[in-house]
């Protein structure tokens, strides 16, 4: 009886680690206080990036999702923007925001979630 309990516990421990996930979350924000911020200037394509470093590196490269929950823009021009992640690794990634034409973005921010199936 004791051996069967040990086997069951061992089985549960091993299978739970097989399906374990690593998850980390955070926020990002771009605004005119950043030295290389250009989303509110000129016309044409403009791009800014911020590096995000994970608190703890992932065991394998995670999938990273980003969202936008804050946006301050000029109301006299059309709103055009693209937010994406680039250079995702086990240690971190870059959030990149792009705008174009005459759009003026004074600030943009949101959240991110990194998930790895381990």
The residue ranges of every structural domain in the chain are: 20-116
- Predicted TM-score (pTM) of the model is 0.79
* CATH, domain range 20-116: 2.60.40.2080
CB-based contact 116:21 (threshold 8 Å): yes
Predicted confidence (pLDDT) per residue in 15-64, tens digit? 445 556 799 999 999 999 998 999 999 889 999 999 999 999 999 999 99
Rounded CA gap, 102 and 14, in Å?
56
Neighbours of 105 (CB within 10 A): 25
Q: CA 60 to CA 78: how far, in whole Å?
A: 40
Q: How far apart are the C-alpha atoms of 70 and 67, rounded to whole Å?
A: 9
For residue 82 the two structure tokens come to 């693209």
């Amino acid at each position: 009886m004791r051996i069967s309990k040990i086997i069951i516990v061992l089985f549960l421990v091993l299978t739970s680690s097989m399906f374990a996930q690593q998850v980390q979350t955070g926020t990002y924000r771009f605004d005119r206080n950043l030295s290389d911020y250009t989303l509110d200037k000129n016309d044409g394509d403009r791009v800014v990036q911020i590096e995000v470093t994970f608190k703890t590196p992932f065991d394998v490269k995670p999938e990273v999702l980003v969202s936008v929950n804050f946006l301050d823009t000029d109301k006299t021009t059309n709103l055009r923007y693209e937010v994406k992640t680039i250079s995702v690794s086990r240690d971190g990634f870059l959030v990149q925001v792009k705008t174009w034409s005459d759009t003026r973005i004074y600030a943009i921010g949101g959240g991110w979630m990194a998930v790895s199936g381990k």
